[in-house]
Amino acid sequence: MRNLFKRYRLFSTFHSHWIAARCFCNEPATKDVTCVLGKRYPVDSWTNVSPSIIGKLGTNLHTQKHHPLGLLKLQIQNFFYKTYVKRSGNPIFSVYDNISPVVTLEQNYDHLLVPKDHPSRKWSDSYYINCCYMLRAHTTAHQHDLISSGLDSFLIVGDVYRRDTIDSTHYPAFHQLDGVRLFSKHELFSNVDEIDSLHLFENGLKTDLKQGEHTLEAALVVSNQLKSTLQNLAKSLFGKAGAVDKVGWAFGMGLERLAMKLYNISDIRLFWSKDPRFTNQFKVEDPSTQIKFKPLSKHPELKNDISFWIPANYEENNFYDLVRSVGGDLIENVELIDEFENKKSGKTSHCYRLIYRHMERPLTQDEVNLVHQKIATDATSNLGVVIR
């Protein structure tokens, strides 16, 4: 169960002024533009979002009533609504599940204190619309703005986008849920008699770039509440075991990984399937209905290998994204099976095995060969590789 909830953290919030994101591009704007969710953005050297990814925007699988991600989201939402209530009986937590996935770099990185040289900012790891805007790599990108607006207990649910490897558990578009709860001193120590003797922070310097250090007692109480929350959420699902003076906890989880475990779904591509044999299995009125997915009959796989000399600036994620863009969901898996270095020339060759399998019908070798040739052609022209 621990792996399902492996991204969580204990944190204190601090005062900072929110500044509307502005674009400070050093290069002149070009005439080319890209349209994302009805808005036009100038294209520059940072642009790497592909038409296949743009085509997935607005699908919002997590809000669809009879979809496994929609059912899972409702189960989690209901858990927080029932578990955390005010004296009036109203839920403490609010849910935000329709925030646009287009964010500024400040929202995705700077507001979370991600250093400018951090590897997560790499051009090859995320989808950039241009040097100022990107598709969010995590729903955490919205926490700063929601906290700054005065919220202290909320869930954020949405689609996120990352360039990644290709296999049965990775997909460039997936869904995350973040939970945040903040406590004032009186809320955190509400059951303690001598509350005036307790503090949230140790004495020390606290600035916009440095959070105050938690006291031991505050850290213990908050971490225990987070642990209890996640344990109870797991039991509920599986039947098993900018505020100046507040501290709190936050967690994040990938909905696909959780749904794959909950419903026994073996391939992440299925979440995007419109095959009635898949979708009809989740047509239930009660989101807590126990469902064990009955696998679709698997059509035979087809294997094609591709070998090429790589250039000095080669990034593997760029090749994976190109394969996804060309082959789409026909690609089940891509694996680096051989790496060879020519000592005389100093060049390095990679050999990848591509597994082709359609989720709903058998493929022919001829149609796979056409896709494979297109991948080789585009890799040559776009990535600078030399096919062997």
Which pairs count as long-range contacts for 286-295, CB under 8 Å and 24+ apart, including other chains? 287/70, 287/71, 287/72, 287/74, 287/75, 287/78, 288/75, 288/78, 289/71, 291/68, 291/71, 291/263, 292/263, 292/264, 293/68, 293/263, 293/264, 293/265, 295/266
Q: Is residue 279 part of a domain?
A: no
The answer to whether residues 337 and 285 touch, using CB atoms and an 8 Å cutoff, is no
Would residue 283 count as lying in a domain?
Answer: no
State the average pLDDT over residues 243-271. 87
Same domain, 228 and 323: no
pLDDT tens digits along 95-146:
999 999 999 999 999 999 899 999 999 999 999 999 999 999 999 999 999 9
- Please name which of 154, 145, 153, 200 lies closest in space to residue 177, comparing C-alpha atoms: 154
CATH of the domain at 75: 3.30.930.10
Backbone φ, ψ for residue 279 (5° rounding)? -65, -35
Residue 309 and residue 183 share a domain: no
CB 3 within 8 A of CB 91: no
Six-digit token string for 14: 């601090």
Q: What pLDDT is stored for residue 116 in this prediction?
A: 92
CB contact at 8 A, 69 and 273: no
Q: Are 127 and 37 found together in one domain?
A: yes
Q: With respect to residue 278, please indicate whether it lies within any of the assigned structural domains.
A: no
Q: What is the pLDDT of residue 382?
A: 95
59-71 average pLDDT score: 97
pLDDT at 240 over 90: no
Return the pLDDT at 336.
Answer: 97
Q: Given a cut of 50, is residue 26 above it in pLDDT?
A: no
85 and 146, same domain (yes or no): yes
End position of a domain, from candidates 234, 263, 292: 263
Domain coverage including residue 202:
2-263
| Cα 28 from chain centroid (whole Å) | 31
Cβ-contact 46, 131 below 8 angstroms: yes
- The residue-averaged pLDDT of 158-166 equals 96
Q: Do 100 and 166 have their domain in common?
A: yes
Give domain status of residue 200, yes or no. yes
State whether 231 and 120 are in the same domain: yes
Contacts of 294 (CB under 8 A, 6+ apart): 281
Same domain, 190 and 254: yes
| Overall number of domains in the chain | 2
pLDDT at 216: 72
E strand or H helix at 340, and its extent? strand 331-342
Alpha helices by DSSP H, listed for 45-173, are 51-54, 68-83, 105-108, 143-148
**In this structure, which amino acid lies at residue 116?**
K
How do residues 329-375 score in pLDDT, each as one tens digit? 999 999 999 999 999 999 999 999 999 999 889 999 999 999 999 99
Whether 10 and 112 map to the same domain: the answer is yes
Report if residue 291 sits inside a domain.
Answer: no
Assess whether pLDDT exceeds 50 at residue 178.
yes
The pLDDT tens digits for 298-340 are 899 999 999 999 999 999 999 999 999 999 999 999 999 999 9
**Residue 47 per-residue DSSP state:** -
Distance (Å, whole) CA 292 – CA 240: 16
Query: What span, in angstroms and rounded, lies between the C-alpha atoms of 293 and 257?
Result: 14
Per-residue confidence (pLDDT) for residue 199, from 0 to 100:
64
pLDDT for the residue 12: 40
Q: Which of 245, 263, 281 is the last residue of a domain?
A: 263
Domain end point (choices 263, 289, 311):
263
Query: Mapping DSSP to helix (H, G, I), strand (E, B) and coil, where does residue 14 land?
Result: coil
| pTM across the whole model | 0.82
Tally of CB atoms within 10 A around 162: 19
Q: Is the pLDDT of residue 244 over 70?
A: no
- Same domain flag for 249 and 310: no
Domain containing 378 — which CATH number?
3.30.70.380
- Domain contains 353: yes
Q: What share of the chain is helix, strand, coil (3-state, %, to 5)?
A: 35, 25, 40
Which residue in 5, 66, 57 sits closest to 263, CA to CA?
Answer: 66
Same domain for 161 and 307, yes or no, is: no
Mean pLDDT of 58-71: 96
Would residue 46 count as lying in a domain? yes
Q: Give one word for 3, left, alpha or beta, with left for phi > 0 and alpha for psi -120 to 50.
A: alpha
If asked whether residues 142 and 225 sit together in one domain, one would say yes
For residues 331 and 208, state if they share a domain: no
Beta strands, E only, 184-286: 247-254
Percent of the chain with pLDDT over 90: 69
CB distance 293 to 280 below 8 Å: no
- The pLDDT of residue 20 is 31
Is 165 inside any structural domain?
yes
